[in-house]
Amino acid sequence: MIISFDIWDTIIKRKCHPEETKLHTAKYIILKYEKNLKEEYKDIYKILKQRNEIEYNLCQEEKQKGNDDECTIEDVLNRLQQEIMKEQIPNIVEELVKEEIEQEKRVIYINPEILPIFEKYKDLKKYCISDFYMGAKELQELLDHLKVPVKIEKIYSSADYKLNKRTGNLYKKAEEELGISPKEHIHVGDNIYSDIEMAKSLGIETIKTTKTEFNFTPKEERPLEFDLSKLKSKDPYINAGLDLAPLLYFFVYSIVEYAIKNNIPKVYYCTREGETFIKIHEIIKQSNPFGGVKVPNSETIEVSRMATFSASLKEFSIPELLRLWSQYREQSMKALFKTLAIDIKPYQKFMDKYGLDIEEEIIAPWFDLRVQNLCDDKEFTNEINQELKRKKEELLEYLQKEKGITNNDETIFLVDIGWRGTIQDNLAYILTNKQIDGYYLTLYDFYNLQPKNTKKISFIDDTSIRNNEVASMLTLLEWIYNPGTGSVTGYKQGGAIRKAKTEEIDIVKKYIMPLQEGMFKGAKEINEYMKYHPYEAKETKQYIYNLLKNTKANPSKELIEAYYSMVFNDTFGTDKYVEKEGKLSTLDRLNIFKCRNILRDETWKEAFIIHNNIGYMNILLNFKSIIRKLLGKD
Q: Is 149 exposed, middle or buried (0-12, 13-18, 19+ CB in 10 A)?
A: exposed
d(CA 316, CA 375): 7
For the beta carbon of residue 163, count every other beta carbon within 10 angstroms.
22
For the beta carbon of residue 461, count every other beta carbon within 10 angstroms.
12
For the beta carbon of residue 238, count every other beta carbon within 10 angstroms.
22
Amino acid at 227: D
d(CA 552, CA 339): 32
d(CA 325, CA 166): 75
For the beta carbon of residue 510, count every other beta carbon within 10 angstroms.
13
d(CA 244, CA 547): 8
DSSP states along 49-88: HHHHHHHHHHHHHHHHTTS-S---HHHHHHHHHHHHBSS-
d(CA 129, CA 136): 10
For 224-313, list the strands marked E by DSSP: 266-270, 297-301
CA-to-CA separations, 9 to 109, 114, 188, 519, in angstroms, rounded: 10, 10, 10, 35
Pairing of strands 362-363, 412-416: unpaired
Does pTM surpass 0.85?
yes
Residue 618 has a pLDDT of 74
CA-to-CA separations, 571 to 172, 304, 344, 409, in angstroms, rounded: 81, 11, 14, 33
3-state SS, residue 193: helix
Residue 632 has a pLDDT of 62
Pairing of strands 297-301, 266-270: parallel
Are 173 and 163 within 8 A, CB to CB?
yes
DSSP states along 455-488: EEEES---HHHIIIIIHHTHHHHHHTT--SS-EE
What are the per-10-residue average pLDDT scores of the chain (634 residues)?
Answer: 97 96 97 95 96 97 96 96 91 94 97 97 97 97 97 97 97 97 97 97 97 88 92 95 97 98 96 96 97 96 94 95 91 93 94 94 95 96 96 96 94 94 95 96 90 95 94 91 91 90 88 96 98 96 96 92 74 54 74 79 84 78 60 58
Residue 229 has a pLDDT of 94
For 500-584, list the strands marked E by DSSP: 567-570, 576-579
Pairing of strands 108-110, 2-5: unpaired
H or E stretch including 621? helix 616-630
- Domains along the sequence of the chain with CATH: 2-208 (3.40.50.1000), 305-393 (no CATH), 581-630 (no CATH)
Instruction: Spell out the long-range contacts of 81-90 with Cβ–Cβ below 8 A and sequence spacing 24 or more.
Output: 83/41, 83/50, 83/54, 84/29, 84/37, 84/38, 84/41, 84/47, 84/50, 85/33, 85/36, 85/37, 85/38, 86/36, 86/37, 86/38, 87/36, 89/33, 89/36
Residue 221 has a pLDDT of 78
Partners of 128 in the β-ladder = 5, 155
For the beta carbon of residue 124, count every other beta carbon within 10 angstroms.
15
